[in-house]
């Protein structure tokens, strides 16, 4: 039987589809449509901010089209993915920024290979850090957990089924920015990133009684890239058009038996040092996969600020947090959010997701405040 792996976005990263041969349904990330720029947390890291606190939002649209049909292996599908993220981070010093992102993804595919459809809605929570050990070097680390609901049909909607998905992932990216000519505002930024992800699909029974066992997909991906950007200054506003290109290589779960693809893209960034507002808009195209095309349009907006008292002095410390716990009965709980400490007062805003041993799940938002005496 064919295996469908859908296009999905975690937090800020857009993942493409993967097919295998043994399972009716299994998902796995294999391609990220963007090599840099305005792609989720990559987009946040590309928007410079010297402010202690930065809040940001990200949106993306990805279109995919797979025409692979080789003998007994028919992988044809097409559709789109919408991704949305919000995030916040705190600059602990000049070299370290840490934050948390919450994302939502909506995937809608037409699966030509079985005359059906594939739809998934997923939430993802992702702590991240941006570290600058030297003046021109940045290291972006990210980890995340996602849960989704999947609805599928086949045989022209005659058969349908529903199940749940869960995914863990981690990525590491290094970026080195330098100016070949000191008197020219041209910046070249080579980068290398590594992605590891595992996605699990729960077993389910279709409306005609067909049972589909649980399945798992693993991704190990390597992506070198380079970006060229040029700054134009207008008083406090800097406008930076950029172009980029990169390679995507899959060590496992390659798409259409093709391990390597290439990305090309470009866009523009805006940065206003007086207001703390930054924005980016980017488009990218993935080529080189056998019978597969993908393009993405994405945008990011961020705002940096500092909390001060009436005398103009900094107030409090903001910090992100992420936690996971399993009790003796097998019930799982995951939470993440932002904490704020000002003198004896501590407050927290968090999102939590609980999964019972019986399989039921509950999500909730929490606000807490405490005062030490």
Residuewise pLDDT in 10s, the chain (373 residues): 223 333 333 322 223 233 222 333 333 333 333 323 334 666 666 666 666 778 888 888 888 898 888 877 888 899 988 888 888 888 887 788 888 888 888 899 999 988 999 999 988 888 889 899 998 899 999 988 888 899 999 999 999 999 998 888 899 999 999 999 988 999 999 999 999 988 888 999 999 999 989 888 888 899 999 999 999 998 889 999 999 999 999 888 777 788 899 999 999 999 888 887 888 899 999 888 888 888 888 888 887 766 665 565 655 555 555 555 655 556 666 666 666 666 666 666 666 666 665 656 666 666 666 666 6
Give dist(CA 274, CA 231) in Å, integer.
17
Residue (of 6, 23, 24, 25) closest to 15 by Cα position:
6
Dihedral pair phi/psi, residue 114, rounded to 5°? -130, 20
Q: CB-based contacts of 93: which residues, under 8 Å, 6+ apart? A: none
Q: Indicate the pTM of the whole model.
A: 0.75
Dihedral pair phi/psi, residue 112, rounded to 5°? -65, -30
Residue (of 75, 355, 15, 49) closest to 202 by Cα position:
355
- Specify whether the CB–CB gap between 17 and 250 falls below 8 A: no
Classified as helix, coil or strand, 246 is strand
Give dist(CA 27, CA 217) in Å, integer.
6
Dihedral pair phi/psi, residue 45, rounded to 5°? -65, -25
Dihedral pair phi/psi, residue 309, rounded to 5°? -90, -175
* Tokens coding 242: 């950029």
| Fold designation for 317-371 | N-terminal domain of TfIIb (2.20.25)
Give dist(CA 356, CA 177) in Å, integer.
47
Fold agreement between 12-305 and 317-371: no
The residue extents of the domains of the chain are 12-305, 317-371
- Specify whether the CB–CB gap between 112 and 352 falls below 8 A: no
Length of the chain: 373
Give the class (CATH, top level) of 12-305: mainly beta
């Amino acid at each position: 039987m064919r295996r469908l792996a859908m296009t999905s976005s975690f937090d800020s990263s857009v993942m493409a589809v993967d097919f295998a041969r043994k399972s009716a349904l299994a998902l796995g990330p294999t391609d990220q449509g963007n090599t840099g720029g305005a792609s989720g947390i990559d987009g946040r890291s590309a928007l410079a901010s010297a402010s202690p606190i930065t809040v940001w939002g990200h949106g993306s649209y990805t279109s995919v089209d797979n025409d692979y049909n080789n003998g007994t292996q028919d992988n044809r599908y097409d559709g789109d993915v919408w991704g949305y993220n919000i995030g916040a981070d705190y600059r602990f010093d000049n070299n370290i920024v840490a934050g948390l992102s919450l994302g939502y993804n909506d995937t809608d595919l037409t699966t030509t290979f079985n005359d059906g459809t594939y739809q998934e809605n997923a939430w993802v929570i992702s702590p991240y850090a941006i570290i600058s050990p030297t003046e021109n070097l940045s290291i972006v680390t990210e980890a995340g957990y996602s849960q989704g609901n999947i609805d599928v049909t086949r045989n022209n909607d005659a058969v349908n089924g529903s199940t749940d998905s869960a995914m863990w992932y981690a990525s590491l990216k290094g970026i080195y920015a330098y100016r070949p000519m000191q008197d020219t505002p041209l910046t070249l930024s080579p980068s290398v990133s590594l992605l590891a992800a595992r996605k699990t699909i729960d077993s389910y029974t279709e409306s005609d009684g067909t049972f589909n066992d649980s399945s798992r997909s693993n991704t190990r991906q390597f992506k070198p890239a380079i970006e060229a950007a040029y700054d134009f200054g207008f008083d406090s506003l800097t406008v930076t058009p950029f172009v980029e290109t990169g390679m995507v290589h899959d060590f496992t779960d390659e798409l259409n038996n093709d391990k390597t693809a290439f990305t090309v893209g470009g866009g523009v960034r805006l940065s206003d040092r007086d207001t703390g507002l930054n924005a980016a808009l980017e488009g990218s195209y993935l080529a080189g996969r056998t019978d597969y095309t993908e393009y993405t349009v994405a945008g990011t907006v961020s705002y940096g600020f500092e909390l001060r008292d009436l005398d103009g002095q900094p107030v409090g410390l903001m910090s992100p947090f992420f936690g996971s716990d399993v009790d003796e009965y097998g019930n799982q709980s995951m939470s993440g959010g932002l904490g704020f400490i000002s003198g004896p007062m501590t407050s927290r805003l968090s999102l939590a997701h609980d999964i019972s041993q019986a399989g039921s799940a509950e999500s909730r938002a929490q606000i807490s405040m405490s005062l030490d005496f």
